[in-house]
Structure 1
Amino acid sequence: MQFNKNKTVSIHQWYPFVEGYSKEFIESILNEIEYIPESVLEPFSGSGTTALELQFKNISCISFEVSPFMHLLSSVKLYNNYNVDTFNAFLFNLKDTLANLPRRVSNIRNIEKVPFGRTILKSDSLKKWNFHDESLDGILDVKYAISLVDDIAYRDLFRIALASILLEVSNVFRNGKCLSYKKDWQTRKILNRKDVHNLFLLKVENVIKNDIKLLEDLSHTTRINNYDQLHFGDVRTNILEVEDNSIDLIITSPPYLNSRDYTDIYMLELKVLDLVKNYDELNNLRKNTLRSHVQVKHGELCDLDIPTLQEYFTKISEKKVLLWNNDLLNMIRGYFLDMDHLFKQFKRVMQPEKYIYFNVANSAYFEEEVKVDIIISEIAIRHGFKLVEIRKARNLKSSSQQSEAIKSLRESVIIFKS
């Protein structure tokens, strides 16, 4: 269930998506079910692992992704028409541009604008900032060089290579639910423009270049193109376009009910790649994500009449001193309302006697465990699915706020049959 196994695997290694699962998860499912699927649904594409692995196996996969960065990442990995000679030609031009740019352009900000956001750069009003000036100038150099690539497929590929080094050249690191500042961010060696260029080119030449040859070879044998079946937008709406009785397998891992806003976690990528250009676009993105965080106010929501969920609300209603955060309660309500909507649609689109593999993790709020896997199972059963198994994957640590009452939380793969 961990992406770590993908860190040195061709194509998957282009960007380290820590929230994903490994390609072995997909392989184990295909080995386990008693039929060869023809049309798979992946409602939460993430880094594209499911659709990519199925594409390698000539299995069609419809996938959805609401994050513009994750959609870009998935699409770049799924594109199967790369050519080694074309890649090398663009790489040669990139190198030439970057080698001469500092000499030709003393202030890159005259031709490449600084990404939006008040914390991107140092200012008199800030105590902390995301990038030192020289490092950001190196990023802007790379952005400008990439903008000269006149083929969008290769341009997007190089943008992902740039995204993969952003944390390394920044003052922050991914720390669970947020971006935190590195301990030595003020005193560490500042990377200059050339350092950033070299890191980017190192990623392109040492990680991506060999994989392009592999993809070119595979393109001659792979009939399925899941690139064309990757859809951008909110799956809660877009799934309505999937045809009735057209799907014979669902594999997915939705955002966990852990208050983690992936918009925040991947903020640098969204901003630097110009995938969100202002706060209105940022807020709209948050509104279109699954209700698994408290960054968006959704108003008063009703409770689903699901026994285990009702049991949880009954327990915390007795802890009146802890009911200070109604946003958290609404997040929990909204999350399961979203799940209820999705499973209603799953029942519509799935063929009879076919499987769903649904990876989730339990949560804890107000010192009580939210048994997410059991609640989702009860929702699915209500919509006509048969529960095959709740398979424990591993134990996860609970948050520091909840750890005294609840030491660990179960991560599960729930298996349903339609």
Structure 2
Amino acid sequence: MMEAAAQSGSTHIAFRDWTGDRAIATVGTNAGAIALPFQEWRRFKEAFAPELIDQAATETSGKINHLVDPFGGSGTTALAGQFLGVRPTTIEVNPYLADLIEAKIAPIDVDAAAVAFGRVVERVGQSEAMTIPKFRGAPPTFVEPGVDGRFIFWQDVARRLVAYRDAIALEPDEAVKRLFKVLLASATVPASNIVVSGKGRRYRRGWQTRRPSPDVIDAWFRDGVLRALYDLRRFSDRKCRDYRLLRGDARQRVGEIDDLDLAVFSPPYPNSFDYTDVYNVELWTLGYLDSAQKNTTLRKQTLRSHVQIYRDMSFHGISSTTLQRTMQELEAASEKLWNRHIPAMIGAYTADMAIILKGLAEKLRANGRIYMVVGDSRYANIDVPIAAILAEISPGLGLEPLRVEPCRSMRASPQQGGRPELAESLVVLERR
């Protein structure tokens, strides 16, 4: 079913996808997976390919009944598990991403959704133009005039988004409402004055003279709904339709999972960047966030992988000579670091990952496995070998490291030259 082949430094898996055709995608990224079902609902540059779940299930001895992903993201693991006939459990702290995952994996009445789409469009057409579109609690740069002439949405575009948001909120079916909400969210960034990269937002080149029509919202939402309903109908007969979605901090909720056979996931990488920022436009536009306090609370529920807000970076009980050496090197180069908390962040991140791995190990059956894709970092030209560190601490958590293999090379930050030289690795652990 699978064929491994080396190509340009990346591990590739040939995999018969759900449409019956063969597709090639790297294990460490979802490159090439855009043609697969459900992948076009929102682009996830950082997601791994669904082939990895098939590889993990094939290589793990015994029957796979329960599959876990403590960092749900785009829902790749949960969705692939359903297609493979394996019951998935997913944890996701970001409320927008949690809704996106559930919209993909929960049963939905497609015919009812199609009728509801007509109602939503009709409400939007009959809505009265609001003087100022309201995004409760959002930053002042959210809507024109913004601050110092900089803003994310032109007012007429913002009005159309609010009209759709309010029309969707009137739908009585929670599954349909959730589906439409995440599909509208996917139209927000394309209709805005910004672009989102792997490390945050920036204004589009020439955005001041690029004024999109509110009609682009109509087109994006319509096309998104049609595409989603097509996927949901075509792939409704999956081998497994059961699932469990736990919303919240993975460090707290990992203890609530049932006994499992396999875990496949990719956690946030310790690159000092808060991934919550990538989704802030969707979070504020759709009302997932309505105050600065909620934004801060959400950030604090993520792994300590960033220093964009102040957090307690203390930790204890982690035994790793590689971690200790790396932190000492970073401390020695503290004057070159852009933030003095970076050395402690690396230790805190490792401690947080230890909580996740220990929680999984306690519920993992004998010979059950963990497959995780992790990325190394670099600060002041000092390498932070996260994959090696996590493999090193795993025996103390009841897990045996089987292999650490590079998946692909990530680009270093512009300050480090931007070259594709940071390793992204697949770490495979087994329960003793």
2:290 maps to which residue? 277
1:119 maps to which residue? 141
> Secondary structure in 1 aligned to 2:425?
strand
> Secondary structure in 2 aligned to 1:61?
strand
1:150 maps to which residue? 172
1:381, 1:208 → 2: CA distance? Answer: 43
Letter in 2 for 1:379: I
1:183, 1:146 → 2: CA distance? Answer: 32
Which of 278, 289, 310 is residue 297 of structure 1 equivalent to?
310
Contact 2:60-2:367 at 8 Å conserved across structures: no
Which of 36, 44, 63 is residue 9 of structure 1 equivalent to?
36
Question: CA offset at residue 93 of structure 1?
Answer: 1.5
Contact 2:83-2:240 at 8 Å conserved across structures: no
1:84-95 mapped onto 2 (5 Å cutoff) = 84-95=110-121
Cα distance per residue 1:306-325 (max 9 Å; x no partner)? 11011112323433533563
Structure 1 runs of 4+ with >6 Å offset = none
2:206, 2:334 → 1: CA distance? Answer: 42
2:89, 2:247 → 1: CA distance? Answer: 11
Contact 1:98-1:142 at 8 Å conserved across structures: yes
1:324, 1:268 → 2: CA distance? Answer: 26
1:163, 1:148 → 2: CA distance? Answer: 17
Question: CA offset at residue 412 of structure 1?
Answer: 0.5
User: Which protein has the bigger helix share?
Assistant: 1
1:60, 1:223 → 2: CA distance? Answer: 6
1:324, 1:79 → 2: CA distance? Answer: 44
2:257, 2:135 → 1: CA distance? Answer: 40
1:358 maps to which residue? 372
Which of 366, 373, 386 is residue 387 of structure 2 equivalent to?
373
User: Which protein has the bigger strand share?
Assistant: 2
1:225 maps to which residue? 242
Structure 2 portions without partners, runs of 5+: 1-27
Contact 2:105-2:241 at 8 Å conserved across structures: no
Question: CA offset at residue 164 of structure 1?
Answer: 1.1
Question: CA offset at residue 9 of structure 1?
Answer: 1.7
Structure 1 portions without partners, runs of 5+: none
2:69, 2:114 → 1: CA distance? Answer: 33
> Secondary structure in 2 aligned to 1:353?
strand
> Secondary structure in 2 aligned to 1:86?
helix
Is structure 2 residue 234 aligned with structure 1 residue 208? no
Cα distance per residue 1:333-360 (max 9 Å; x no partner)? 2101112222222221111111110110
Is structure 2 residue 253 aligned with structure 1 residue 238? yes
Contact 2:327-2:347 at 8 Å conserved across structures: no
Question: CA offset at residue 33 of structure 1?
Answer: 2.7
Residues paired across the two proteins, number: 402
Contact 1:64-1:235 at 8 Å conserved across structures: yes
TM-score (norm 2): 0.88
> Secondary structure in 1 aligned to 2:139?
coil
Question: CA offset at residue 223 of structure 1?
Answer: 4.2
Relative distance call for 1:309 and 1:223 in structure 2 (3 A) is: closer
Which of 115, 125, 130 is residue 107 of structure 1 equivalent to?
130
1:73 maps to which residue? 100
Give percent identity, aligned residues only: 27
> Secondary structure in 2 aligned to 1:31?
helix
Cα distance per residue 1:203-261 (max 9 Å; x no partner)? 222x1221132244x1xx644411xx110010111112234xx1111111000111221
Contact 1:59-1:224 at 8 Å conserved across structures: no
Q: Which moved more, 1:341-350 or 1:370-379?
A: 341-350
C-alpha RMSD over aligned residues: 2.0
TM-score (norm 1): 0.91
Letter in 1 for 2:228: I
